[in-house]
Amino acid sequence: MATPNFYSRTESLLAQLTRDGLYKHLQMLEGPMDATVRLRGADGAVREVVCFCSNNYAGLANHPEVVEAGLKGLRDFGAGTASVRFICGTFSPHETLERAIARYMGTEAAYTFVSCWNANEAVFPTLCEPGDIVISDELNHASIIDAVRLATVIKKGLHKSIYRNNRLTGEDSLEQRLAEAAASKDVTGQIWVVTDGVFSMEGSIGDLKTMRGLCDRYGAMLVVDDSHGHGVMGRTGRGTHEHFGMIDPLDSAPTRANRVDLFTGTLGKALGGAAGGFVAGRKEAVELIVQRGRPTLFSNALPVSVACGATKAIEILLNEPQRVQRLRDNVAYARERLKAAGFDVLPSPTAICPIIVHDTAKAIAMSRRLLELGVFVIGFGYPVVPEGHARLRCQVSAAHTRQHVDALVDALKRL
Ligand SMILES: *Cc1c(COP(=O)(O)O)cnc(C)c1O
């Protein structure tokens, strides 16, 4: 029998996706990301629709000062770095941005990457060693899952285990996995615990305070990817650690007790939305990543224009706490109206409001109908969420007005 040819196999896979109603059509934007966007339809016509599916939580993606800072970076430093950081790709805007991130996060040091995906792939394969174990929440972001998988390949003898989403005690919990690791004779090194700060598909949050307590009991390192928490969580939007009071006031010397050991995060969501990721934590950990991380040694630096835009976005966020308050007010209003309209939305302080519809094809059909009604919300199904848990994920922004939220709820009611 002939071996299946790649192209014929792929053709039938793609055809199957279409038959099952799972085929994703990329939506084309003809203008900037904002509360409303200009969307090109299948017929080629461009329409303005209200956007409830971007990660532009703080409304900074098209902020005039962020755009201007990027343009200035482009004029002053040119279009590209044309190098990885350790050769000749580190420009002074990288230094400025990394200081701004460390200040914002309340950590000693920070280092940037072209994405948070890369940041996670730098953390685990670099910092973990054979004999260590990584204990991971089952609903952690794909980039954490893949980074841990990669780490177990690069560092043979590195162990991993998984606990139920947000379950800290009892059966299949973090506590159980910690106890197992402590009792295992194969685990001879460091125990690592990793969680999302805000779970991107649920809008739920990791209980960092309780996790810190558990980690302390077992001498474990706590790593938090807070990509959806930055610009959203905590009174001033510094993240889920601010929400739990595990942060020092701005510009005070970082405390080491009762803190998250290492953070990763993205600049591609609330913090300007362009691109880029970072690690933030103690100097030694960040320094080892600079010295040994494969994404730091073999991949280009963040474009300077992007670094300049992100620095400005963080500055605006910290100078305008009313922006975070507006987001919080919008979220409360959206949840209240959605609930009043009979939708099943979970209470949560995050800007993510998933509406569970179970079936993937149904979620995709619903989002298509919403678009006809002038509201842009994406339906998510397998493999982004587990089979049978398909949903419409509504994401609220500080850029939205009450009228925008009303438009969302009214369109949902008409479905
Ligand atoms: C969005 C997201 C990422 C990916 O960030 P990029 O910078 O786009 O690679 C990583 N982790 C989490 C938790 C995210 O939500």
CATH number at residue 44: 3.90.1150.10
Domain range enclosing 267: 64-319
Check if 121 has its Cβ closer than 6 Å to any atom of ligand 1: no
Check if 228 has its Cβ closer than 6 Å to any atom of ligand 1: yes
Per-residue pLDDT of the chain (415 residues; tens, 9 = 90+): 566 799 999 999 999 999 987 888 889 999 999 999 999 988 899 999 999 999 999 999 999 999 999 999 999 999 999 999 999 999 999 999 999 999 999 999 999 999 999 999 999 999 999 999 999 999 999 999 999 999 999 999 999 999 999 999 999 999 999 999 999 999 999 999 999 999 988 899 999 999 999 999 999 999 999 999 999 999 999 999 999 999 999 998 878 777 999 999 999 999 999 999 999 999 999 999 999 999 999 999 999 999 999 999 999 999 999 999 999 999 999 999 999 999 878 777 899 999 988 888 888 889 999 999 999 999 888 878 888 889 999 999 999 999 999 999 999 999 8
Residue of 194, 198, 224, 266 best suited for mutating to test ligand 1, as the one with most atoms within 8 Å of CB: 266
DSSP-assigned states of every residue in 57-93: TTS-TT-HHHHHHHHHHHHHH-S---SBIIIII--HH
Check if 137 has its Cβ closer than 6 Å to any atom of ligand 1: no
- The verdict on 101 and 227 lying in the same domain is yes
pLDDT at site 414: 92
Say if 11 falls within a structural domain: no
DSSP-assigned states of every residue in 225-293: E-TTTTTTSSTTS--HHHHTT-SPPTTSPPP-TTS-SEEEEESSSSS-SSS-EEEEE-HHHHHHHHHH-
- The verdict on 224 and 182 lying in the same domain is yes
The number of distinct structural domains making up the chain is 2
Residue of 116, 124, 240, 278 best suited for mutating to test ligand 1, as the one with most atoms within 8 Å of CB: 116
Ligand 1 mean position to 111 CA, how many Å?
A: 16
Identified catalytic residue from 54, 115, 161, 200: 200
**Last residue of a domain, which of 288, 319, 350?**
319
Ligand 1 mean position to 226 CA, how many Å?
A: 9
Identified catalytic residue from 94, 141, 159, 228: 228
Say if 227 falls within a structural domain: yes
Say if 386 falls within a structural domain: yes
Check if 117 has its Cβ closer than 6 Å to any atom of ligand 1: yes
- The verdict on 130 and 277 lying in the same domain is yes
Check if 296 has its Cβ closer than 6 Å to any atom of ligand 1: no
- The verdict on 220 and 304 lying in the same domain is yes
Ligand 1 mean position to 214 CA, how many Å?
A: 26
- The verdict on 91 and 195 lying in the same domain is yes
The CA-based angle 43-44-50, given to 5 degrees, is: 95
Hey, which bits of 274-363 come out as E strands? Answer: 277-281, 352-358
pLDDT at site 86: 95
pLDDT at site 400: 98
Does the annotation count 362 as an active-site position?
no
Q: Is 406 helix (H, G, I), strand (E, B) or coil?
A: helix
**Last residue of a domain, which of 289, 319, 349?**
319
Q: 238-243 contacts: CB < 8 A, separation 24 or more? A: 238/104, 238/105, 238/106, 239/105, 239/197, 239/263, 239/265, 240/197, 240/198, 240/205, 240/206, 240/208, 241/106, 241/197, 241/208, 243/205, 243/349
Check if 229 has its Cβ closer than 6 Å to any atom of ligand 1: no
- The verdict on 334 and 375 lying in the same domain is yes
pLDDT at site 88: 95
**Last residue of a domain, which of 319, 345, 378?**
319
pTM for the structure as a whole: 0.96
Residue of 269, 279, 306, 384 best suited for mutating to test ligand 1, as the one with most atoms within 8 Å of CB: 269
Does the annotation count 25 as an active-site position?
no
Say if 263 falls within a structural domain: yes
Ligand 1 mean position to 117 CA, how many Å?
A: 6
Decide: 211 and 297 in contact? Cβ < 8 Å.
Answer: no
Say if 70 falls within a structural domain: yes
- The verdict on 305 and 366 lying in the same domain is no
Minimal CA–CA distance to 246: which of 206, 297, 295?
A: 206
Q: Which domain CATH number covers 118?
A: 3.40.640.10
Atom of ligand 1 nearest to the CA of 140: 13
Check if 143 has its Cβ closer than 6 Å to any atom of ligand 1: yes
Does the annotation count 228 as an active-site position?
yes
- Can you name the residues that pair with 193 across neighbouring β-strands? 135, 222
Check if 196 has its Cβ closer than 6 Å to any atom of ligand 1: yes
Decide: 339 and 345 in contact? Cβ < 8 Å.
Answer: yes
Ligand 1 mean position to 229 CA, how many Å?
A: 11
Alpha carbon distance 298, 271 (integer Å): 25
Identified catalytic residue from 94, 269, 389, 400: 269
Check if 176 has its Cβ closer than 6 Å to any atom of ligand 1: no
Decide: 224 and 217 in contact? Cβ < 8 Å.
Answer: no
Ligand 1 mean position to 135 CA, how many Å?
A: 19
pLDDT at site 31: 97
Check if 115 has its Cβ closer than 6 Å to any atom of ligand 1: yes
